[in-house]
Structure 1
Amino acid sequence: MPAIVAASALVLAGCSSPGGDAGPTKITFLTWTDDLAVQQAESMIDAFEEENPDIEIVLDTYPAGAEGDNIVKTRLATGEMSDVFLYNSGALMQALNPDSTLYSLADEPWMAEVADDFQAAVATDQGVYGAPTGTAQAGGIIYSKKVYDELGLSVPESWGDFMANNEKIKEAGITPVFQSYADTWTAQMIVLGSFANVTAVDPDWAEEFTAGKRKYADEPAFAGFEHLQELADAGLFNEDYASATYNEAVGALVEGTAAQYPLLTNAMIRNVRQNYPDAIDDLGIFPIPADDPADTRLTMWQPNALYVPASTEGEKRDAALAFVEFFNSPAGCEIQNESEPGGPYVISSCELPEDVAPIVTDVEQWFDEGKTGLSIGFLSPVKGPNLENILVEVGSGISSAQQGAEAYDADVKKQAQQLGLPGW
Structure 2
Amino acid sequence: MKLTKRTLLTGLAAGLLSATGLAGTAYAQTTLTVLVDNSADTVKFSEALIAAFEAKHPDINLELETRPGGAEGDNITKTRLATQSMNDIFLYNSGSLLQALNPERTITPLTGEPVLDRVADSFEQAVTFNGQVYGVPVQPAMGGGILYNRKIYEELGLSIPKTWEEFMANNEKIKAAGKVAVIQTYRDTWTSQLFVLADFFNVQAQVPDFAEQYTAGKAKFATTPAALRGFEHLAEVNAAGYLNEDYGAATYDDGLHMLTSGEGAHYPMLTFAIAAITATYPDAIDDIGFFAQPGDSADSNGLTTWMPAAWYISASSPYQEEAKMFLDFAASVEGCDVITEAVGAAGPYLIDGCGLPEDVPPAVSDMLPYFQEGGQSAPALEFLSPVKGPALEQITVEVGSGTRSPADGAALYDEDVRKQAQQLGLPGW
Shorter-normalised TM range: over 0.9
Q: Cα offset for 1:341?
A: 2.0
User: Matched residues in 2 for 1:94 and 1:356: separation?
Assistant: 34
Other structure's SS at 1:307 match: strand
Instruction: Determine the structure 2 residue equivalent to 1:361.
Output: 365
Residue 51 of structure 1: which of 56, 63, 77 is its match?
Answer: 56
Q: Which amino acid aligns with 1:378?
A: F
Find the partner of 1:405 among 403, 406, 410: 410
Matched, 1:220 2:223: no
> What residue number does 2:10 align with?
none
Residue aligning to 1:348: 352
Cα deviation, 1:243-262, whole Å, max 9, x if unaligned, reads 11111111111111111100
Alpha-carbon contact 2:38-2:68 (below 8 Å) kept: yes
The one-letter code matched in structure 2 to 1:154 is: S
Residue 336 (1) aligns with residue 339 (2)? yes
Q: Distance between the aligned counterparts of 1:370 and 1:330, measured in 2?
A: 26
Is the aligned partner of 1:242 residue 2:223?
no
Pairs within 5 Å for 1:35-114: 35-114=40-119
Contact 1:137 1:302 in 2 (8 A): yes
> Structure 1 residues 22 and 364, CA, compared in 2 at 3 Å: closer, same or farther?
closer
Q: Please state whether the residue corresponding to 2:225 is helix, strand or coil.
A: coil
- Structure 2 match to 1:12: none
Partner Cα distance (1:330, 1:55) in 2: 21
Deviation (angstroms), 1:87: 0.5
Q: Are residue 230 (structure 1) and residue 233 (structure 2) matched?
A: no
Matched, 1:307 2:312: yes
**Which structure 2 residues correspond to residues 182-261 of structure 1 after superposition, within 5 A?**
182-217=187-222, 218-261=224-267
Retained in 1: the 8 A contact 2:195–2:233?
yes
Q: Distance in 2 between matches of 1:263 and 1:156?
A: 16
Q: 1:7 maps to what in 2?
A: none
SS at match of 1:220: helix
Q: Which runs of 5+ in 1 are unaligned?
A: 1-18
Distance in 1, matches of 2:348 and 2:174, equals 32
Distance 2:289 2:193 in 1: 20
Secondary structure at 2:290 match in 1: strand
Which letter does structure 2 place at the counterpart of 1:361? Answer: S
CA RMSD of aligned residues (A): 1.5
What is aligned with 1:282? 287
**Would the aligned equivalents of 1:138 and 1:342 in 2 still touch at CA under 8 Å?**
no
Structure 2 letter corresponding to 1:226:
E
Q: Secondary structure at the match of 2:226?
A: coil
Distance in 1 (alpha carbons) for counterparts of 2:335 and 2:375: 31
- Offset at 1:59? 1.2
Secondary structure, counterpart of 1:221 in structure 2: helix
Give the letter aligned to residue 320 of structure 1: A
Post-superposition offset of 1:22 = 8.9
| 2:324 equivalent to 1:318 | no
Query: What amino acid maps onto 1:258 in structure 2?
Result: G
Q: Which residue type is aligned with residue 147 of structure 2?
A: I
Deviations 1:269-328 (A, max 9, x none): 112112221211111111111122223221110111000111124xx1111000111112
Counterpart position of 2:428: 423
Give how far 1:122 is off. Answer: 0.2
Match of 2:136 in 1: 131
User: 1:77·1:101 contact (CA, 8 Å) conserved in 2?
Assistant: yes
| Equivalent position SS for 2:311 | strand
Could you tell me whether the CA contact under 8 Å between 1:299 and 1:372 is conserved in 2? Answer: yes
Distance 1:417 1:336 in 2: 39
Q: 1:20 to 1:98 in 2, by over 3 A?
A: farther
Asked if residue 372 in structure 1 is aligned to residue 377 in structure 2, the reply is: yes
Following TM superposition, by how much is the alpha carbon of 1:21 offset from its aligned partner in structure 2, in angstroms?
A: 8.3
Aligned partner of residue 215 in structure 1, secondary structure: coil
Shift of 1:25: 1.6
Match in the other structure for 1:271: 276
Give, in angstroms, the shift of residue 23 of structure 1. 2.7
Name which one, 1 or 2, has greater alpha-carbon Rg. 2
Give 1:20 shift.
Answer: 9.2
Identical amino acids, percent of aligned pairs: 51
- Return 289-298 or 165-174, whichever deviates more: 289-298
2-structure distance, mates of 1:72, 1:377: 19
Query: In the TM superposition, what is the alpha-carbon distance from 1:56 to its structure 2 partner?
Result: 1.2
Partner of 2:19: none
Residues 225-234 or 340-349, more deviating: 340-349
Number of the residue aligned with 1:6: none
Residues 266 and 340 of structure 1 are in contact (CA less than 8 Å); yes or no, is this contact kept in structure 2?
Answer: no
Query: Structure 1 pair 148/21, CA: closer, same or farther in 2 (3 Å)?
Result: closer
CA distance in 2, matches of 1:420, 1:165: 45
**Distance in 2 between residues matched to 1:347 and 1:261, nearest whole Å:** 29
For 2:321 and 2:355, the matched residues in 1 are separated by 27
Q: Flag structure 2 segments of 5+ consecutive residues without an equivalent.
A: 1-23
| Contact 1:176–1:237 under 8 Å retained in 2 | yes
CA displacement at 1:35 relative to structure 2: 2.2
Whole-angstrom distance in 1 between the partners of 2:68 and 2:237? 28
Match of 1:174 among 148, 173, 179: 179
TM-score, structure 2 normalization: 0.91
Instruction: Give the Cα–Cα distance (whole angstroms) in 1 for the partners of residues 396 and 418 of structure 2.
Output: 17
Q: Distance in 1 between matches of 2:192 and 2:184?
A: 7
More divergent stretch after superposition (255-264 vs 293-302): 293-302
In 1, the alpha carbon distance for the partners of 2:320 and 2:297 equals 51
Maintained 8 Å contact 1:103/1:308: yes
For 1:378 and 1:330, locate their aligned partners in 2 and report how far apart those are by CA, in whole Å: 25
1:380 partner SS = coil
